Each structure stands twice: as C-alpha cells, then as structure tokens.
Amino acid sequence: MDDIIDIVKTTKIEGVIATNTTISREGLNSSKEEIEKIGMGGLSGKPLTKRSTEVIKYLKQKSNNAFPVIGVGGIHSAEDAIEKINAGADLIQLYTGFIYEGPGLIKRINKALVAQNILK
C-alpha cells in the first residue's frame, strides 16, 4: 500500500477508491470444496467490511491525508458507513449493501450521519 500512496502522490491522481473486492476467503463459512467449485473471483460485501476499513485508515494516515479516499466494501448499515468515515473516508460508495439492504439504507445512513453531526 505504500507503493500505491507513492504512485498517487507522484502522478497526482485525484483520489483512491478503497476497497471494492478481495480474493481472500478468510472467515467464510463455505467449505474449501464449495469455494473451489464457485471459483476464486473477487469477493464483495460483508466479508470485506473490516479489511476495507483498515485499508482506508492506513491510506489516510500514511499519506498524511494527501488525497481523497472513497470508502467502499461491506457497507450494510449506518454503523458500517460511520466506521468508514471515522477511519478517514471522504466519501462512501455502496454496492452489495445497497442490493441486499435496499434503497432505505441510504436514508438510514444519512439520518445517522446527521444525528452524529457528521453530515449537516
């Protein structure tokens, strides 16, 4: 990730989307055989929540907040969104959480952000 920070700074890329998918299968309940049958494509959603938040925090701290970070990965609740913002995300982006939780998720996130004076 340090290389990514250096590249973003050197090339003056406007920002980073962190993170969208992972190839890690850590913490899944599925058997190894089932995973092999499905394939090793990118995994998204809840299994990504914690790692995504760690990546956001690392990028923001190690870069000294040099560029915007869009937090994405495992946002299924207002609490997940707030964790991303507290880790340093300048914006958040929803994919899997929006599909599984529906459009009401956006309203719940916005209400929570207003209640905590994060969004005014």
- Rounded distance between C-alpha atoms, residue 56 and residue 51, angstroms: 9
Tokens encoding 39: 């394939």
Residue 54 CB neighbours (<10 A): 14
- The predicted structure's pLDDT at residue 20: 73
What pLDDT was estimated at residue 49? 86
Asked whether residue 120 is assigned to any structural domain, the reply reads: no
Assess if residue 43 is contained within a domain. Answer: yes
Comparing CA positions, the residue from 71, 109, 75 lying closest to residue 90 is 71
Whether 91 is covered by a domain: the verdict is yes
The CA distances from residue 9 to 29, 51, 58, in Å, are 39, 23, 15
**pLDDT at residue 43, as a whole number:** 66
Question: What is the residue-level pLDDT of the chain in tens, covering all 120 positions?
Answer: 999 999 999 999 999 998 876 666 666 677 778 777 777 666 667 778 888 999 999 999 999 999 999 999 999 999 999 999 999 999 999 988 999 999 999 999 999 999 998 876
Q: Does the residue 6 lie in any domain?
A: yes
**Domain with 31 in it:** 2-115
Q: What is the CATH number of the domain that holds 44?
A: 3.20.20.70
How many separate domains does the chain show? 1
Are residues 89 and 56 in contact, defined by beta-carbon separation less than 8 angstroms?
yes
